[in-house]
Every structure is written in C-alpha cells, then in structure tokens.
C-alpha cells in the first residue's frame, strides 16, 4: 500500500510544503473575500435584526465544541508535519492494522493505497479538513450550522477511525484501554454527535445520564478486558522478556521526544517491568470503580435512587486524573516522533466524560438578545419561533423569532435579500462559512484525485528525479524481435519510441520496469497506436529469443501489440549498449547482471528527446503507476493524437 | 466553562422501572463485557495436523567413480534478504582441490540444482526467486569451466536436490510446480513436454498403490525417465519408470512407515536411492541399490525428528547424509553398515563422498573443505568466494 519512499524524501517534503503554502494562500484569499463582502454588506445594506429569544448554549456543549475544535485544529497542524505525505501509509496506517483480521487490513489497505497514489493531495487534504472542522466547531456556537459542524466531526472522525485507526484496533489482539481502545477518533465522533443534537435535548438531564451510563458500561468492559488472563498484562516480564504493557511503554519511550518526558516514561516502564501485577491490578480496580461510578448516574432511569453528588463528582475527577496519567506515562502524549497524528484518546475521552457530567445540570433559562436597529422600523409580520431564515449561511439561526421583512421564496430568494441576510450574520457565522470553505478546499482536490486511478508522477520524481531533455539523433540499431523478425529503429519512424534495456532473467528491476511500460501503454489509451514500446536485451549470456519470449510470457506482454523485445548477437547488443550508455556487466558467484535502468523517449522523426532515470525504487503499486504516468507525460508531447 | 452544580434527580420524579428493565440492564452489561472481552482475543489454535515431510535439501554432492565431483553449497548471508548465493564447486578429478564453477548471468538466490549425464557434462538450473518465475538453465561440457545458456524451463523448478535430471542426447527431466509435475525436455531444454503429474500418476495402478503426494526426485536409467515420490500409503517407496508411455512401479518395498525418496541416481548399470521412512514420532534413512533385477536395502539409520542438512552420492554407490547441523553418517555401498561420522565442524553445509569423506563448511564468503582422517576432521582447503552482497535487492 505504501509508496516505499523514505518518509522525509526531499522531493515529497518540498512538494507537500508547496501544496500547503499554495492552498494556504487560497484560504487567506477566501477569508479576505468573505470579510470584505461581509463588511460591505453591513455597511451598505445596514441590515436590522429583531430581538431574539435564545437558549444559551449549555456548558457541556460549549466544552465539547471548543475542546474538540481545538483538538481538530491541533490534529490538522500535526498532519502538516513534513513526513506525513510519504510516511502515513507505511508508518501509521499499515502498522495499526497489522494485527487485525485480513478483511480489516483489506479495508485499511485500500485507504493506504489511495493515499500512496496521491500523497501530496492526501496529506494536504487531511490538514485542511481537520483545520476547517476545528475552526467550524469553534466559530459556530449554535443553530443549524453548528449542528452541521458536529456532523462533519462525526463523518471525518469515522473516516479516521476506520481507515487511520483500523476500527480503533478493537478487532486486533491486545486490546486495552491503556493503549487507547476503542480508538481516539470514536470519541471525536461521539462529541460530534452530541454537538449535533437538537436544542430540545439540552433542557433535560437525561442526556447526561445516558452519556455517563454508556461510558460507565464501557469502563466496566475495559476493566474486564484488562483483568482477562492470558493476555500478558498481569506480568511485567515473562521469561525474561518484556510483558505486553512493559513492551508498549518501552517502545513509546524510544520515540523522539523531550528528555524529561522520556525519563518519566522509561521510569514507568521499569516500574511496570518490576511490578506488573500491581500495575495491572490498579488499572483493573480503577477502571471498574470508575465504570461503576459513571454507570450509577443512570440509576434514576431505571427507577433507582440517584447516587450522592459527591460520588459522581469524585468519579469524574478520578477518571480525569487516570486519563492524564495514562496520557503521559503510557500514551506518551501520542504526537511525538514526526508522524504523530493526534494526542491519542485520553484527552478526548476525558472531555466527553466531563461533558456528560456537566450535562446532568439543567440547561439555563431562555434569555432575550436585544434587537439591532439601524434603520426605521418597517411593518413586519408577527415573529414566529420558526426555523432560521433561508440565508442560514449566517449561522445565526436558533429557536428564536427572526422577523423577515421580505416574504420567503425558498430557492427563489432575491440576491438583495441574500446580501442583507449575509450582512446580518454574526462574526462567528462568517468565520463558520470560511471554515466550511477550508474543509471543501481540503476535500475537493482529494476527491478529484480519487477519480484518477493512476498515481501522481511526483513519486517517480522523488525516486529518480526529473527527466533530462535531449535533442540528438537516436543511434540506429537493427535487432531481432521476440518472434524472430528483424526490426530496425528506422522501421519505427513515424511513431514515438519508448526505449529501455531489460535483462530477461532479472529477478528485481526489469520485471518492474516491464510492468511500468505496460502501464504506460494503458495510460496512453488510444494514443498508444502511435507509440512503440521497445526493450533491448541487457544480458550478454541469456539473450536468445527463447528467453525474450519467456520474459514476455512471465510479464504478460505477449498480447501487447506494440511491444518489442529485441535481441541479437553479442556484438550487436554491445554496440547498442555502447550507443545508449548502457552497462551490462557479469557479476560472479551467482549475481545478477549489473546494468543501469534508463528509458528514452525517441520522437517520430528519430530524435532522442528525453532520458529518464528508471530505477524502479521500491517497486510498489503506487511507484509503478507513477513511473508509467511520468513516462506517459514525457511521451505525450511528441505523440500525434 | 460555567460552573456546574449537581442536583441529581431534580428535573423529574424518577419513574419506577419494571423489574424486567433491571434484568435487561444487567444482561446487557454482562453481554457487553463478554463481547468486549472477546474482541480481539486470539482464536483457539486448531488441532495440530501431521506435518508434511520436509523437502530434500538442495545442498548435495555427487561423485563419479574415478571422475569429477561436484557440490552445491549455499554461501553468503540471509536468504530472507536475498543475500544468500548458491555456488557450484567442482573437483575435476578424484585428486586435487575444489574449484568454484558457479555459472554466471542469473541471480541464484533461489537455489541451484545440478545434474550430470556423465563425461564431464553438467546442467545447472537456477531456481527462480523474487520476480523471476521461470527457470533459466546453463550447460557445461568441461566440468563447469565454461557454461552456455540452455533452456529455458518455463516453470518454477521444485525445491529438491534431484529435481533436475540429465539423460543422454540432451534429454532433461524437471520437477516443477512444487513437485506436482514432471516435464521432459529435449535438446537441453529447448522444448518441453508434460511427462506426468501427481494426479496422472495416481490414476495408474502403481500410483494408486503408492498414493503419491508429491514428486521428489528425477533420474534417467539409460534413456528411461524415472521419477520418485512421497507415498501416502505406508510401506511403499514411490519410484516409477516410464516405459513407452506407461508408468511402472520400480521401487523397493519398505515395511512399516510412509516413505519418501530423497535422492535417486543412476549408479553403474543400476540405481542408487536414499529413502526417508517416517513414523509419527521419528524418521529413518535407508539406502537402497538396484542391480541385477533386485533391490538391496540398508539397515535404517534413525535420525529422530532431525532436520536434514545434505545428501551425498559417491562412487560405488556410496551414500551419505547429514542432519541436525552436526550429525552425519555414510554407507560405503550395498551390504555395508552405516558409519557414524564424528561431530561435524561448525556451519557444515555439504557432505561430499569421493576418495575421502569430506564436509564443506560455508561461512559468508569463506569455503572450507574438511576431510575425515584418523577419527577427526582435518582442514584441507580454504577458498575465498567473492559474494555479491546486495546485488539482488
């Protein structure tokens, strides 16, 4: 699934940074346009806003909205680390799914492959989508657009949970709350779902009881899992080897991070190695107690007496302390190492629990927001506690009455009314619109890239650099094709020739290059009838047509009509190698013939126009596709359509 | 964040839940815990199945009476990293030293299999590795001093020391597809035809008597192709001869255990073979010679659950085998008893039987030849081999 490139490949890093900068300019431009339009609308149209009755946003919702807004923004900034574009599939996505069942790996591999085919678009997309969702959550405090922000958080959280966290690892062995089960992204989804709830749910404590009860069940389940024998958590060391928890903590300590933090984590690893039983016992008891405490919040729902207030408060405090301790000592804050994507699960989990606790308090009473009058009052229809006006892009709608001086026309609203509504929008609403634009700016390029099943040529350029333009007459040759027929370069005049040199008994590079040439033929499509794919044997010992045919059969090239695999006498081949700067040297003691990997583009008049370094590198699906696209792009300029 | 005060149950008088609701809640909790506990648990291991016999090792040697010897040795580094490189060493005459005669032009990380029709001729097959899926061949008429390309074999050669056989007039026989097919080649592998498969053999009376599970060795007796197999039915050594398109049973009867054939070769006017008889708990090695219309079997050499290291066929029908890295034994010929060898030198690779009993030790790029003398091993030759580390990556 991965491109096989080094995470910090300079070409990819530079392209990633350039893409972010480029898109960042668009982000600022959109902000500027929105700001100017908004200020202009307010100044020229002087829209009025009547008094409104609003239900203040309860504390729990504000906590979730702002808290997760900040976390999404932080995650977006983490996603902008230089190694993300190349490194995420192979260093994060693939290892996360490695212990999961095959079908999970299949699902995750699809996403990883998609990312590796378009690493720059995918990396930038993740940055802007997450930044946009974060800003959106913070900027839209209430109403339809605020709830939509919550749903956006659910949607993207699900994407991350499935493809980035392999379903939170819940299907892999070794599942434990201590390592972040059931996946941080699931709490982003939960928070988003709570934010998306309609305002009528704010007024009842049942929501808080439900949240805490569900989390209570979850903690109890985690306690049972932690206590389950045979999973390696009860031993700090096993036969001299690190136990499960000790091993995980030790590996986290090896991540590049500040020295003081590393010291803490290593100390905890040592402590766990020496006292594994006690550590796990503490974890089991703590999880069970917290779970029971949280579950007790739901007792009134089943007709039992509610727990004492101090008990629930103490439970929540204990949970927060436990989460913080785990976050520092076990999860190691989660975002170090250059490829950390988020601060892991403890902070999101704690936020949801605290929000559930706060939700036990009744919502504040309805208050009145004063009117904003900037022009003489006009007769207006009676205010109705109806849905917000059609120009809900303002994001200011609520369960209030907002007089609309112009009869509603739905989709037929006049531009002036739209402008007036836009001008009447609050600052937060405008910022929310901007945030939506940021999300779309992130999502659109990746969605477009998805429609292209070929990989970006940036991967090939990252492996071998750019092609070298040339303009010299291509040296002639007359050789024998795989069917025994004589072929000369002159006989191919009128077509673009893509030329390379392949060893028919090669075990590594040459089969990959052959597939890249075959891929080029597919990318060219109908234009391939004007292109000839030509390979010349690059092995002084194994050069008979029996071997060129064997190679063609092995590489499924026998049915490619414009494929030629040429050979000849040793003298003929040596002359061709010399003319095209090919080295083909015998390596003793069982080595493969050593030869350079190169491709030439020869135009229809017989002039060499491009030389490409064609070392296939890691030979992954994405790199193969990328080389095919690179070769196609190099050839297309000379192909008559 | 506003300060919150907790007043539980103040918003509404709690409803008295039906007794069933409590039971349901408790059930849900219990089921949820069990489900969560079950999530991600490793599945119970399935009942253990009898292991298929390990294929014969590729490290092998062959010596003709008074003639040349050749040995196949794995050298270099890790096979997992394609840093292992197989070598062919040839000793042109009974006396004299070993010389490296590995054919060039193909990466041999997958292994080398050598066959000889005699008279200084050798045919070598490069078992495919990495992205190479068919089998290049090389041929020599001067005991490996020079090689030319032959073949190819458009299939993957099986992993067995005797997966390739060379007969008269450029005939070749190859076991392919993991030992499920046998191909017959003409003119040093220029053309190939299907000779047999496991299925086609099992459709014949001798095949049914054996219950062939896989093909393990190939040989020519004169111009008669012969294949050897692992038998599922106990007591049968699966050796078959193709006479005018009909397969006949040609192997000895071996009482008791299931038998697979590790090596098969022409010896003088007869045959020599190395058999492995396997029971539930252990294995034995049996030498067998065919001459004058009858088979002669040696006593069994018990090797327990040992992992075979190498096999050797020498002049006069002598046989040798090594196992568990340090153990070895030889049979001088029919009617003789097994002679246990002293503990083999560290990193012993290939046993060779010529005028002396020898063990070849391969360590990275260093080849060492030890000869058995006075009850111990004496170093007689050291060669440095230039291994092309990293060239196959």
Q: Which of A301, A546, A594 sits opposite B391 (nearest CB)?
A: A594
Indicate whether B119 pLDDT > 90: no
Cβ of A540 and B105 within 8 Å?
Answer: yes
Indicate whether A25 pLDDT > 50: yes
Rounded to whole angstroms, the Cα distance separating A502 from A592 reads 12
What DSSP character marks residue A235?
-
pTM of the predicted protein model: 0.82
The alpha carbon of residue A505 is apart from the nearest alpha carbon of chain B, in Å, by 6
Indicate whether A588 pLDDT > 80: yes
What are the pLDDT digits (tens) for A50-65? 666 667 788 999 999 9
Pairs from A27-31 (Cβ < 8 Å, separation ≥ 24) = A27/A128, A27/A437, A27/A438, A27/A441, A30/A434, A30/A437, A30/A438, A30/A441, A31/A434
Query: Do the interacting molecules here have an ipTM over 0.85?
Result: yes
Question: How many helices (H) and strands (E) in chain A?
Answer: 21, 14
Kindly report the length of chain B: 393
A365 touches B at CB < 8 Å: no
What are the pLDDT digits (tens) for B246-261? 999 999 988 778 898 9
Residue A260 C-alpha from the chain's centroid: 31
What are the pLDDT digits (tens) for A258-302? 888 888 888 998 898 889 899 999 999 999 999 999 998 888 878
The pLDDT assigned to A364 comes to 64
Q: At what angle do helices A346-358 and A184-195 cross, to 10 degrees?
A: 30
Residues of chain B with C-beta less than 8 angstroms from the C-beta of A508: 130-131, 392-393
Mutation for testing the B interface, residue in A219, A232, A507, A508 having most B CBs under 10 Å:
A507
Residues 11-70 of A with CB under 8 A from B: 59-60, 62-63
A172 touches B at CB < 8 Å: yes
Cβ of B151 and A546 within 8 Å?
Answer: yes
3-state SS class at B246:
strand
Look at A402 and A596; give whichever has higher pLDDT: A596
Mutation for testing the B interface, residue in A591, A593, A594 having most B CBs under 10 Å:
A591
What are the pLDDT digits (tens) for B185-223? 999 999 999 999 999 999 999 999 999 999 999 999 988
Indicate whether A393 pLDDT > 70: no
Q: Judge contact between A83 and A7, C-beta under 8 A.
A: yes
What DSSP character marks residue B80?
T
Residues 313-352 of A with CB under 8 A from B: 313
Indicate whether B42 pLDDT > 50: no
Q: CA dihedral defined by A250, A252, A258, A264, rounded to 10 degrees? A: -50
How many residue contacts between A and B have a Cβ separation below 8 Å? 180
Indicate whether A626 pLDDT > 90: yes
Residues of chain B with C-beta less than 8 angstroms from the C-beta of A177: none
Instruction: For residues B345-363, give the mean pLDDT.
Output: 93
Indicate whether B27 pLDDT > 70: no
Indicate whether A382 pLDDT > 60: no
Tokens 């709490």 label which residue?
A187
The alpha carbon of residue B25 is apart from the nearest alpha carbon of chain A, in Å, by 9
Kindly report the length of chain A: 641
Q: Judge contact between A137 and A195, C-beta under 8 A.
A: yes
Which residues lie closer than 8 Å to B336 by C-beta, 6 or more apart?
Answer: B298
Which residues lie closer than 8 Å to B299 by C-beta, 6 or more apart?
Answer: B286, B337, B338
Cβ of A591 and B86 within 8 Å?
Answer: no
Indicate whether B71 pLDDT > 80: yes
Cis, peptide link before residue A347, omega less than 30° from 0: no
Q: Supply A323's token pair.
A: 């989460």
Which residues, in sequence order, are bridge partners of residue B362?
A: B367
Q: Which of B86, B91, B94, B34 is nearest to B59 (CA)?
A: B86
Cβ of B6 and A174 within 8 Å?
Answer: no
Q: Supply B16's token pair.
A: 């008295």
Supply angle C-alpha A230, A236, A242, rounded to 5.
90
Which ranges constitute the DSSP H helices of chain B? 19-38, 198-202, 205-210
A399 touches B at CB < 8 Å: no
Q: Which of A521, A527, A523 is nearest to A559 (CA)?
A: A521
What are the pLDDT digits (tens) for A93-133? 888 888 899 999 999 988 888 899 999 999 999 999 999 99
Q: Supply A531's token pair.
A: 């292109």
Indicate whether A479 pLDDT > 60: yes
Q: CA dihedral defined by A188, A194, A195, A198, rounded to 10 degrees? A: 160
The pLDDT assigned to A369 comes to 61
Q: At what angle do helices A346-358 and A206-227 cross, to 10 degrees?
A: 140
Which residues lie closer than 8 Å to A326 by C-beta, 6 or more apart?
Answer: A177, A178, A346
The pLDDT assigned to A331 comes to 87
Residues of chain B with C-beta less than 8 angstroms from the C-beta of A357: 4, 6
Q: Judge contact between B77 and B100, C-beta under 8 A.
A: no
Which ranges constitute the DSSP H helices of A535-620? 545-554, 570-579
Instruction: For residues B107-134, give the mean pLDDT.
Output: 94
A210 touches B at CB < 8 Å: no
């Amino acid at each position: 699934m991965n491109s096989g490139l080094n995470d910090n490949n300079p070409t990819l890093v530079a392209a990633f940074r350039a893409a972010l900068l480029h898109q960042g300019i668009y982000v600022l431009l959109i902000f500027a346009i929105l700001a100017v339009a908004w200020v202009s609308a307010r100044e020229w149209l002087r829209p009025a806003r009547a008094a409104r009755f609003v239900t203040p946003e309860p504390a729990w919702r504000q906590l979730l909205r702002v808290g997760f807004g900040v976390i999404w923004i932080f995650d977006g900034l983490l996603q902008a680390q230089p190694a993300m574009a190349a490194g995420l599939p192979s260093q994060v996505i693939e290892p996360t799914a490695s212990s999961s069942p095959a079908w999970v790996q299949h699902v995750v591999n699809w996403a990883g492959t998609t990312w590796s085919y378009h690493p720059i678009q995918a990396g930038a997309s993740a940055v802007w989508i997450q930044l946009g969702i974060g800003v959106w959550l913070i900027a839209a405090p209430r109403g339809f657009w605020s709830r939509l922000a919550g749903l956006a958080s659910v949607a993207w959280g699900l994407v991350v949970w499935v493809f980035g966290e392999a379903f939170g690892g819940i299907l892999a062995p070794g599942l434990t709350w201590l390592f972040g089960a059931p996946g941080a992204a699931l709490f982003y989804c939960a928070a988003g779902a709570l934010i998306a709830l309609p305002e009528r749910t704010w007024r009842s404590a049942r929501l808080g009881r439900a949240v805490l009860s569900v989390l209570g069940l979850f903690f109890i389940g985690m306690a049972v899992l932690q206590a389950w024998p045979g999973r390696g958590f009860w031993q700090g060391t096993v036969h001299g080897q690190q136990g499960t928890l000790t091993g995980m903590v030790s590996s986290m300590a090896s991540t590049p991070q500040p020295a003081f933090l590393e010291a803490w984590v290593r100390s905890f690893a040592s402590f766990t190695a020496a006292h594994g039983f006690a550590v796990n016992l503490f974890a089991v008891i703590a999880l069970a107690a917290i779970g029971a405490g949280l579950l007790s919040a739901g007792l009134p729902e089943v007709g039992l007496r509610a727990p004492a207030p101090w008990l629930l408060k103490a439970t929540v405090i204990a949970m927060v302390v436990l989460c913080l301790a785990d976050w520092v000592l076990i999860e190691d804050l989660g975002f170090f190492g250059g490829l950390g994507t988020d601060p892991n699960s403890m902070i999101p989990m704690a936020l949801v629990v605290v929000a559930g606790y706060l939700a036990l308090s009744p919502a504040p009473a309805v208050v009145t927001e004063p009117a904003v009058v900037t022009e003489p009052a006009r007769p207006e229809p009676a205010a109705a506690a109806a849905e917000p006006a059609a120009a809900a892009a303002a994001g200011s709608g609520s369960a209030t009455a907002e007089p609309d001086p112009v009869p509603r026309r739905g989709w037929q609203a006049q531009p002036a009314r739209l402008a007036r509504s836009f001008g009447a929008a609050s600052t937060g609403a405008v910022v929310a619109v901007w945030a939506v634009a940021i999300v779309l700016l992130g999502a659109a390029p990746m969605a477009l890239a998805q429609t292209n099943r070929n990989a970006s040529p940036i991967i090939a350029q990252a492996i071998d650099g750019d092609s070298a333009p040339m303009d010299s007459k291509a040296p002639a040759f007359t050789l024998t094709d795989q069917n025994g027929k004589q072929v000369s370069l002159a006989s191919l005049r009128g077509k673009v020739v893509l030329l390379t040199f392949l060893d028919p008994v090669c075990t590594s590079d040459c089969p990959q290059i052959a597939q890249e040439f075959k891929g080029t033929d597919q990318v060219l499509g109908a234009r391939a009838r004007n292109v000839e794919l030509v390979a010349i044997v690059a092995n002084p010992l194994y050069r008979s047509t029996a071997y060129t045919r064997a190679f063609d059969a092995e590489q499924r090239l026998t049915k490619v009509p414009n494929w030629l695999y040429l050979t000849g006498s040793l003298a003929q081949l040596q002359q061709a190698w010399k003319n095209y700067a090919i080295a083909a040297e015998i390596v003793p003691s069982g080595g493969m013939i050593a030869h350079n990997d190169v491709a030439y583009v020869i135009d229809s008049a017989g002039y060499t126009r491009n030389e490409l370094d064609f070392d296939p590198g890691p030979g992954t699906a994405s790199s193969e596709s990328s080389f095919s696209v690179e070769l196609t792009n190099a050839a297309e300029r000379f192909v008559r359509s | 964040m506003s300060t919150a005060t907790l007043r539980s149950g103040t918003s509404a008088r709690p409803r008295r839940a039906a007794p069933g609701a409590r039971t349901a809640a408790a059930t849900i909790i219990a089921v949820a815990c069990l489900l969560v506990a079950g999530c991600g648990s490793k599945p119970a291991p399935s009942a253990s199945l009898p292991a298929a016999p390990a294929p014969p090792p590729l490290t092998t040697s062959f010596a003709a009476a008074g003639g040349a010897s050749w040995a196949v040795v794995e050298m270099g580094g890790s096979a997992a990293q394609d840093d292992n490189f197989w070598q062919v060493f040839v000793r042109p005459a009974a006396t004299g030293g070993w010389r490296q005669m590995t054919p060039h032009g193909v990466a041999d990380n997958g292994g080398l299999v050598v066959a000889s029709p005699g008279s200084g001729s050798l045919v070598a097959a490069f078992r495919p590795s990495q992205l190479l899926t068919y089998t290049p061949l090389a041929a020599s008429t001067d005991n490996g001093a020079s090689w030319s390309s032959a073949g190819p074999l458009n299939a993957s050669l099986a992993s067995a020391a005797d997966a390739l056989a060379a007969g008269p007039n450029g005939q070749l026989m190859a076991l392919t597809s993991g030992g499920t097919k046998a191909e017959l080649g003409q003119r040093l592998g220029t053309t190939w035809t299907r000779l047999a498969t496991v299925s086609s053999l099992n459709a014949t009376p001798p095949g049914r008597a054996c219950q062939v599970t896989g093909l393990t060795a190939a040989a020519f007796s004169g111009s008669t192709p012969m294949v050897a197999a692992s038998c599922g039915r106990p007591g049968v050594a699966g050796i078959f001869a193709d006479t005018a398109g009909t397969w006949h049973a040609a192997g000895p009867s071996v009482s008791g255990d299931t038998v697979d054939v590790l090596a098969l070769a022409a010896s003088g006017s007869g045959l020599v073979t190395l058999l492995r008889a396997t029971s539930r708990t252990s294995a034995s090695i049996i030498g067998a010679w065919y001459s004058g219309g009858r088979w002669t079997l040696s006593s069994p050499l018990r090797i327990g659950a040992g992992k075979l290291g190498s096999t050797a066929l020498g002049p006069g029908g002598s046989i040798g085998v090594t196992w568990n890295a340090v153990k070895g034994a030889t049979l001088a010929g029919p009617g003789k008893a097994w002679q246990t060898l002293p503990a083999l030198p560290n990193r012993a690779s290939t046993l060779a039987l010529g005028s002396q009993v020898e063990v070849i030790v391969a360590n990275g790029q260093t080849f060492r030849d030890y000869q058995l003398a006075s009850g111990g091993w004496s170093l007689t030759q050291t060669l440095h081999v230039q291994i092309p580390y990293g060239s196959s990556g």
